[in-house]
Each structure stands twice: as C-alpha cells, then as structure tokens.
C-alpha cells in the first residue's frame, strides 16, 4: 500500500514517517507502560490508533489513545487484512 502511495482512507491514514512512528510509540509507552505498542495508522476523527503489539504476532490492536490506562482497548483484529477490511467497510458506509 505504501509503495502504491495509498495511505489515506477517509477516516484512517497510514503513518509512513519512521521518526513520527518512533516518537508516537515512545509516547504510548509512557501512557501505557505495561504494553509495547508500535503505531502504524491513526484515525482522524477520534483518538483511535492501529498498532502492532509485542506478544501478539500478526494481530492488530486498536487503541483509544489518551484513555485511562486499562480502558484504552478499542478493538482487535486477527491480522492486517481483517483490520483493513473494517477500514474499507467504514469508508464505504460514509460514502453511502
């Protein structure tokens, strides 16, 4: 997707800047110290972010960033394809 330049999907956008990913992931570590999260996408209309999490290989976790610790889980997907399908489904609903 990144190689094709396809990174914006209505509400969601894929983060392609390594420095930004690093900075954001460091902030996540401060807000949620018991988790090791690496952000790869952000939703523009709320504080939801999509991440990979250590110990959950291949799975995608959606975090409601800035929520109180323990209340941040907003969803989880088996893999990138399942998460991406939900992004496309949400985008299509918005267009109808």
Greater confidence (92 vs 96) lies with 92
**pLDDT at res. 12:** 87
Measured in whole angstroms, how far is the alpha carbon of residue 9 from the centre of its chain?
Answer: 13
In a domain, 1, yes or no: no
Q: Report the domain count for the chain.
A: 1
Q: Report the C-alpha gap between 38 and 48 in whole angstroms.
A: 13
Q: pLDDT (tens digit, 9 = 90+) per residue, 5-32?
A: 555 667 888 888 889 889 998 999 999 9
Q: Report the C-alpha gap between 29 and 54 in whole angstroms.
A: 12
In a domain, 34, yes or no: yes
Domain range for residue 81?
A: 8-90
In a domain, 96, yes or no: no
In a domain, 27, yes or no: yes
In a domain, 66, yes or no: yes
- Mean of pLDDT values over 38-42: 93
> Could you tell me the CA-to-CA distances from 3 to 28, 48, 51, 72, 88 in Å, in that order?
27, 24, 20, 31, 19
């Amino acid at each position: 997707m990144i190689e094709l330049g396809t990174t914006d999907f209505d509400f969601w956008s894929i983060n392609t800047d390594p420095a930004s990913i690093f900075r954001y992931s460091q902030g996540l570590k401060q807000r949620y110290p018991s988790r090791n999260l690496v952000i790869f996408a952000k939703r523009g209309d709320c504080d939801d972010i999509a991440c990979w999490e250590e110990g959950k290989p291949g799975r995608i976790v959606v975090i409601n960033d800035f929520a109180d610790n323990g209340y941040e889980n907003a969803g989880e997907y088996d893999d990138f394809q399942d998460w991406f399908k939900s992004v496309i489904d949400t985008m299509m609903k918005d267009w109808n």
